[in-house]
Amino acid sequence: MSAPHVFLVAAERSGDLLGAGLARELRSLTADKVRLSGIGGTAMAEQGIESAISIDGLSILGWIDGLKAYSRVKQAVSEAVDAILTAKPDVVVLIDSWGFTLRVAQGVRAADPAIRLVKYVGPQVFATRPGRAATLAASVDELLTILSFDAPYYEAHGLPVTFVGNPTLERLPRGNGAAFRTRHGITADEAVLVVLPGSRPSEIRRMMPPVVEALKRLTRDHADLRLVLPVADPVAGQVDAAIAVHPVLQSAIRVGETEKADAFASADLALACSGTVVTELATAGVPTITGYKLGWITWGLVRAFNLLKTPHISLVNIAADARLVPEIIQLKCTGKVLADEVERLLDDPVRRAELSVRLQAVTSEMRGSGQASRRAAEAVLAGLD
């Protein structure tokens, strides 16, 4: 039997990391007797998968950003479909990035129905736009979900669902906070605030102004506060441009993703753009304030059509059914409000300790039996059998 050929598709950083973990486990399970190709970023490249097309400009969120990038996305979809049809894989795994991967799936399905299509991470239909479940069921053969409560929404439309768990909860190694503090000259009596303004260009654009204003207020009132700025690779240029013009960011300790685990372990609390990183922080037990701002037209549509069906936006809060992570959204997401929320926790070490324990307990339940990437790889190979 020839080696199975698996083609992975990821269009942004979070999917790139999921793809890298999946690639690693596919090789392990097959004793490296698997052909891997795909579309992705630096994490997948480190696993030996050279991207068939560039994913620059595909990390998009919101209606307006989608419209602005329409021609780029349309071109990338066409290039991705052509690359897949040329490669003729046994299975294509389409990772996260709903709009882009859906169109790729539909293009491949129309051209060659024999290629098996697997979606890895579905849209959060429990929170908004439940009609996407039917759309996905008509476009792919199987869904690998990272959420234990996803299955009924999709199975109702005839789509087989395999719960594999959330690799985010296993990805971040246990960091060495003491070593990080020593390495960067942070004393024991200084408080560390980890600042993460986003991993998409649109997030940096919208979140950086209120984050900068919050940091100005916090550093003015707390001389013993040290700022740590872990920077995601896809937005490093944007963040560095912001550092160049904002003195408060110049006072921060800027680190790359290789130091992220140590930075989290050193932290007393965090200020973060809502997203995967909030779950990572919770796994590390870091009390966090999260904020988010959509484009105004997107936000108007969300409000006008009541598209948000859950009282929380953070997976940790959804899983706990409690606001363990304060969520500061849209109009409320100002520098003053963010600073006030951070200060409230900064001045309450007892509350921070309680939150740290609860966050780790919730993410432990979300993790389940662990080895999510391996279970995803097993599911992909089982589908080929």
Distance of alpha carbon 167 from alpha carbon 43, whole angstroms: 14
What are 155's two structure tokens?
């199975």
For the record, the structure tokens of 307 come out as 């598209």
DSSP state of 51: B
Radius of gyration of the chain from its Cα atoms, rounded to whole angstroms: 21
User: Structure pTM?
Assistant: 0.74
Q: How far apart are CA 303 and CA 296, in angstroms?
A: 10
What's the gap between Cα 248 and its chain centre? 26
Pairing of strands 35-39, 5-10: parallel
Cβ proximity of 270 and 289 under 8 Å? yes
pLDDT in tens, the chain (385 residues): 579 999 999 998 889 999 999 999 999 999 999 999 999 999 999 999 999 998 886 765 554 555 556 787 889 999 999 999 999 999 999 998 888 999 999 999 999 999 999 999 998 887 678 889 999 999 999 999 988 888 999 999 999 999 998 888 887 888 999 999 999 999 999 999 999 999 888 899 999 999 999 999 999 999 999 999 999 888 999 999 999 999 999 999 999 989 999 999 999 999 999 988 999 999 999 999 999 887 666 656 666 556 566 678 888 998 888 999 999 998 899 999 999 999 999 999 999 999 999 999 999 888 766 789 999 999 999 998 7
How many H-runs (helices) and E-runs (strands) does the chain carry? Answer: 19, 12
Domains of the chain: 5-165+368-384 (3.40.50.2000), 172-367 (3.40.50.2000)
What is the C-alpha separation between 88 and 30, in angstroms, rounded? 20
Residue 291, Cβ density class (10 Å: 0-12 exposed, 13-18 middle, ≥19 buried)? buried
